[in-house]
């Protein structure tokens, strides 16, 4: 998708890149903090999905995400943690569906 087709997404991607460049945190640590912040603000599924690619790229695992949610649970409380886990699961399911669709499209193009 070209930048002119999705200028808001492009701007968000730019902001993420600048954040990674300018933060004193390592990229992996920064993304763990972002996951905690997304849970804290009761972010929608799209926000988790938007950050998922970068999180995977810097080595964040499902175990890391669980650890973050457990760490912030005493501060955020049960409703926010349950909402965050649900949003994460939905985002992960959507990301897996997209990856499968891409693989199928590639296989059809090759076959």
In a domain, 52, yes or no: yes
If one counts the domains in the chain, the total is 1
DSSP for 25-78, written as a single string: S-HHHHHHHHHHHHHHTT--HHHHHHHHHHHHHTT--HHHHHHHHHHHHHHH-H
pLDDT band, very low/low/confident/very high, at 83 (cuts 50, 70, 90): very high
In a domain, 20, yes or no: no
Q: Is the predicted pLDDT of residue 1 greater than 60, yes or no?
A: no
In a domain, 13, yes or no: no
Q: What is the mean pLDDT of residues 20-32?
A: 93
pLDDT band, very low/low/confident/very high, at 3 (cuts 50, 70, 90): low
Q: For 29-81, how does the pLDDT look when each residue is reduced to its tens digit (9 = 90+)?
A: 999 999 999 999 999 999 998 888 888 889 999 899 999 999 999 999 999 99
- The parent domain of residue 33 ranges over 27-110
């Amino acid at each position: 998708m070209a930048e002119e087709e999705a200028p808001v997404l492009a701007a968000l991607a730019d902001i993420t890149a600048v954040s990674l460049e300018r933060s004193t945190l390592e990229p992996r640590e920064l993304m763990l903090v972002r996951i905690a912040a997304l849970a804290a603000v009761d972010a929608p599924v799209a926000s988790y999905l938007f950050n998922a690619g970068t999180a995977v790229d810097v080595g964040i695992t499902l175990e890391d995400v669980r650890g973050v949610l457990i760490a912030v649970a005493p501060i955020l409380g049960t409703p926010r943690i349950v909402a965050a886990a649900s949003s994460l699961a939905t985002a992960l399911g959507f990301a897996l569906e997209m990856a499968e669709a891409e693989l199928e499209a590639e296989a059809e193009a090759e076959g």
